[in-house]
Amino acid sequence: MHECPGVGRRHKKKLAFLTWFSLKKQENKQLKLWDCDVCHAQGYREQRACFLENSELPVTYKCGRETNEGIINVDELWDIVDTLQDANPGAPIYALVGLIRGTEGGCLRELCPVSIVDPFIDTLITMEALCEVYHALPLSGGLLDQPSYLMESFSTIRATRNFYDEEKARKLNGKNNTKKA
């Protein structure tokens, strides 16, 4: 059994990031290419910075006017996201992760989202979606019988999904208003 990760700030960031990425991937055919098998078969690996290939990667990111560079592992990546979030309060997590670029081979490369999230996070997102579809809780008993980290994780996933849907609706309304003008 996986050890309980708690519901700290970092756990919520990882949940929000992977939830957002999963939702984007479902609607965008291009993002379906973010799959390890497709990446290797199509030769996309040369264009991406992947922590599955290397435990440490050279990266660069801007925080304010300052450009920072270094060689980091996945945990240090989330430390950078913390720093960026402190400098950009209210910015969505996916936008902050997008500010960090791999510099392997002297080229700027997009970080592979698949390689930066614990598989347990993916399991939580899948579990929440199944609970939503089947209108059931993951463990026997009622709501108060569920582990608190699980219920807080589900709340973070739902909040991210709601934010995603609002953004999508806002963009759609903007396109409709542009067509009317």
181 within domain boundaries: no
Q: pLDDT at position 87, please?
A: 92
55 within domain boundaries: yes
pLDDT averaged over every residue in the chain: 86
pLDDT band for position 122 (50/70/90)? Answer: confident
Sheet with 101-102, edge to edge strand ranges: 48-49, 109-111, 101-102, 57-63, 66-72
Residue given tokens 């807080």 in the structure block: 152
4 within domain boundaries: no
Classified as helix, coil or strand, 96 is helix
pLDDT digits (tens, 9 = 90+) for 68-91: 999 999 999 999 999 999 999 888
* 140 phi, psi to nearest 5 deg: -65, 155
Owning domain of residue 36: 9-173
Domain count, the chain: 1
179 within domain boundaries: no
pLDDT digits (tens, 9 = 90+) for 131-176: 999 999 999 999 999 999 999 999 999 999 999 999 889 988 887 6
pLDDT digits (tens, 9 = 90+) for 21-44: 888 877 776 666 677 888 888 888
180 within domain boundaries: no
How far is residue 103's CA from residue 113's CA, in Å, rounded to a whole number?
A: 16
1 within domain boundaries: no
Q: pLDDT at position 1, please?
A: 41
